[in-house]
A and B are shown apart, each in its own frame.
Chain A
Amino acid sequence: MTEPRASAFITRNVLFALVGGGLGGILFMFFLIEFDHFTSTNQFCTTCHSMTFAETSYQQSVHYNSPSGVRASCGDCHVSEGIIMATYDHAVGIKDLFKQLFGADYNDPVINLLHLPDAAFASRDWFRRRDSATCRRCHLQEAIQGTRVHTAAIHQEETDGKSCVDCHFNLVHRPVPERSTFKREAWNAMVEQEFGLEPGSAEQLLAAGRRPAGERPPAAAAPAHGVGNGQQQAGLEP
Chain B
Amino acid sequence: MRCPVRHLRLPIFLLGALLLLVATAGQAAKVALDPSHWGLPEGDACVSCHEKASPGLARQWHDSAHKTAGVNCLDCHRAEPRDRDAMQHEGQIIATIVSPKDCGRCHETEYREQAGSVHAEAYAIIADRIPALAHNVTGAAMQATGCDQCHGSVVQIRGDGTLDPATWPNSGIGRVNPDGSKGSCSSCHGRHQFSKAQAREPEACVRCHSGPDSPDKEVFEASKHGMIYAAQKEQMNLRSDRWIAGQDYTAAPTCVTCHMGGAGNLPSTHDVGMRNVWSLNTPVSRRQFLVVLEDDSKLELPADQPPPRRGAEIARPDGTLAKVKAVAAPERRRQAMNAVCLECHAKSFTESFMRQFDSVVELYNGKFGEPAAAIMADLYEHGLLTPLPFDEPLEFIYWELWHDEGARARHGASMASPNHAWWEGMYLVGRNFYTRFLPAARAAAGDQAAELVDARLQDGDHHAWLGRPDQANPILGYMPPAVVLEPAAASAEAVPLAASTATEERDD
Interface, chain A (partner B; CB < 8 A): 150, 153-154, 157-158, 166-167, 174-183, 186-191, 193, 232, 236-237
Tell me whether A180 and B48 are in contact in the complex, defined as CB-CB below 8 angstroms, given that A150-B53, A187-B159, A232-B162 are known contacts.
no
Query: What's the minimum C-beta distance from B348 to chain A, rounded to whole angstroms?
Result: 61
Complex Cα–Cα for A186 and B85 (A): 11
Query: What's the minimum C-beta distance from A157 to chain B, rounded to whole angstroms?
Result: 7
State the main secondary structure of chain B at its contact with A.
loop
- A154-B52, A166-B91, A183-B84 are known; give 15 further A-B pairs, CB within 8 A: A154-B53, A157-B48, A158-B52, A167-B90, A175-B161, A178-B161, A179-B88, A180-B88, A181-B86, A182-B161, A186-B84, A186-B161, A187-B159, A188-B159, A189-B159
15 contacts between A and B (CB under 8 A): A150-B55, A154-B53, A158-B49, A166-B91, A177-B87, A177-B88, A178-B87, A178-B88, A179-B88, A180-B93, A181-B83, A183-B161, A187-B159, A187-B160, A188-B159
Complex Cα–Cα for A189 and B161 (A): 12
B157 in contact (CB, < 8 A): yes
Complex Cα–Cα for A113 and B157 (A): 18
Tell me whether A181 and B160 are in contact in the complex, defined as CB-CB below 8 angstroms, given that A154-B52, A158-B52 are known contacts.
no
Whether the Cβ atoms of A181 and B52 lie closer than 8 Å is no
State the main secondary structure of chain A at its contact with B.
helix
Whether the Cβ atoms of B81 and A190 lie closer than 8 Å is no
Q: Which residues of A contact B81 (CB under 8 A)?
A: 180-181
Complex Cα–Cα for A157 and B49 (A): 8
Query: What's the minimum C-beta distance from B59 to chain A, rounded to whole angstroms?
Result: 13
A-B pairs, top 6 by smallest CB distance, nearest first, are A190-B159, A177-B161, A150-B52, A178-B88, A181-B86, A175-B160
Complex Cα–Cα for A180 and B79 (A): 12
Complex Cα–Cα for A81 and B81 (A): 36
Q: Which residues of B contact A178 (CB under 8 A)?
A: 87-88, 161
Whether the Cβ atoms of B160 and A153 lie closer than 8 Å is no
Whether the Cβ atoms of A158 and B161 lie closer than 8 Å is no
With contacts defined as CB atoms under 8 Å apart, how many contacts are there between chain A and chain B in the complex? 59
B463 in contact (CB, < 8 A): no
Whether the Cβ atoms of A181 and B88 lie closer than 8 Å is yes
Query: What's the minimum C-beta distance from B417 to chain A, rounded to whole angstroms?
Result: 45
Whether the Cβ atoms of B52 and A190 lie closer than 8 Å is no
Whether the Cβ atoms of A175 and B84 lie closer than 8 Å is no
Q: Mark B416-432, 1 if CB is under 8 A from A, else 0.
A: 00000000000000000
Q: Which residue in chain B gives the minimum CB-CB distance to A189?
A: B159
Tell me whether A181 and B158 are in contact in the complex, defined as CB-CB below 8 angstroms, given that A154-B53, A158-B48, A158-B49 are known contacts.
no
Query: What's the minimum C-beta distance from A13 to chain B, rounded to whole angstroms?
Result: 62
Tell me whether A191 and B159 are in contact in the complex, defined as CB-CB below 8 angstroms, given that A167-B90, A181-B88 are known contacts.
yes
Q: Which residues of B contact A237 (CB under 8 A)?
A: 89
Query: What's the minimum C-beta distance from B354 to chain A, rounded to whole angstroms?
Result: 52
Query: What's the minimum C-beta distance from A204 to chain B, rounded to whole angstroms?
Result: 17
Q: Which residue in chain B gives the minimum CB-CB distance to A149?
A: B52
Q: Mark B278-296, 1 if CB is under 8 A from A, else 0.
A: 0000000000000000000
Query: What's the minimum C-beta distance from B184 to chain A, rounded to whole angstroms?
Result: 21
Q: Which residues of B contact A183 (CB under 8 A)?
A: 82, 84, 161
Complex Cα–Cα for A232 and B159 (A): 13
Query: What's the minimum C-beta distance from A210 to chain B, rounded to whole angstroms?
Result: 21
Query: What's the minimum C-beta distance from A188 to chain B, rounded to whole angstroms?
Result: 8
Complex Cα–Cα for A203 and B86 (A): 22
Whether the Cβ atoms of B159 and A181 lie closer than 8 Å is no
Q: Which residue in chain A gives the minimum CB-CB distance to B80?
A: A181
Complex Cα–Cα for A158 and B84 (A): 28
Q: Which residue in chain A gives the minimum CB-CB distance to B48?
A: A158
Complex Cα–Cα for A86 and B156 (A): 42
Query: What's the minimum C-beta distance from A54 to chain B, rounded to whole angstroms?
Result: 15
Q: Which residues of A contact B52 (CB under 8 A)?
A: 150, 153-154, 157-158
Which of A175, A179, A181, A237 has the largest number of chain B CB atoms within 10 A? A181
Complex Cα–Cα for A193 and B164 (A): 14
Tell me whether A181 and B87 are in contact in the complex, defined as CB-CB below 8 angstroms, given that A150-B53, A158-B48, A175-B160 are known contacts.
yes
Q: Which residues of B contact A175 (CB under 8 A)?
A: 160-162
Query: What's the minimum C-beta distance from B331 to chain A, rounded to whole angstroms?
Result: 49
Q: Which residue in chain B gives the minimum CB-CB distance to A152?
A: B52
Query: What's the minimum C-beta distance from B64 to chain A, rounded to whole angstroms?
Result: 21
Whether the Cβ atoms of A181 and B161 lie closer than 8 Å is yes
Q: Which residues of B contact A157 (CB under 8 A)?
A: 48, 52
Query: What's the minimum C-beta distance from A118 to chain B, rounded to whole angstroms?
Result: 14
Whether the Cβ atoms of B90 and A166 lie closer than 8 Å is yes
Query: What's the minimum C-beta distance from A150 to chain B, rounded to whole angstroms?
Result: 4
Taking a contact as CB atoms closer than 8 A, the residue among B49, B55, B91, B159 that contacts A186 in the complex is B159
Complex Cα–Cα for A123 and B203 (A): 50
Q: Mark B38-65, 1 if CB is under 8 A from A, else 0.
A: 0000000000110011010000000000
Whether the Cβ atoms of A186 and B162 lie closer than 8 Å is no
Q: Which residues of B contact A167 (CB under 8 A)?
A: 90
Query: What's the minimum C-beta distance from A35 to chain B, rounded to whole angstroms?
Result: 36
Tell me whether A190 and B160 are in contact in the complex, defined as CB-CB below 8 angstroms, given that A178-B87, A180-B93 are known contacts.
yes
Whether the Cβ atoms of B88 and A174 lie closer than 8 Å is no
Whether the Cβ atoms of B84 and A154 lie closer than 8 Å is no
Tell me whether A190 and B91 are in contact in the complex, defined as CB-CB below 8 angstroms, given that A153-B52, A154-B49, A180-B81 are known contacts.
no
Complex Cα–Cα for A99 and B216 (A): 65
Complex Cα–Cα for A183 and B85 (A): 10
Q: Which residue in chain A gives the minimum CB-CB distance to B49?
A: A158
Q: Which residues of B contact A176 (CB under 8 A)?
A: 160-161
Q: Mark B86-101, 1 if CB is under 8 A from A, else 0.
A: 1111110100000000
Q: Which residue in chain B gives the minimum CB-CB distance to A177?
A: B161
Q: Which residues of A contact B162 (CB under 8 A)?
A: 175, 232, 236
Complex Cα–Cα for A126 and B127 (A): 47
Q: Which residue in chain A gives the minimum CB-CB distance to B45?
A: A158
Query: What's the minimum C-beta distance from B165 to chain A, rounded to whole angstroms?
Result: 9
Complex Cα–Cα for A190 and B157 (A): 10
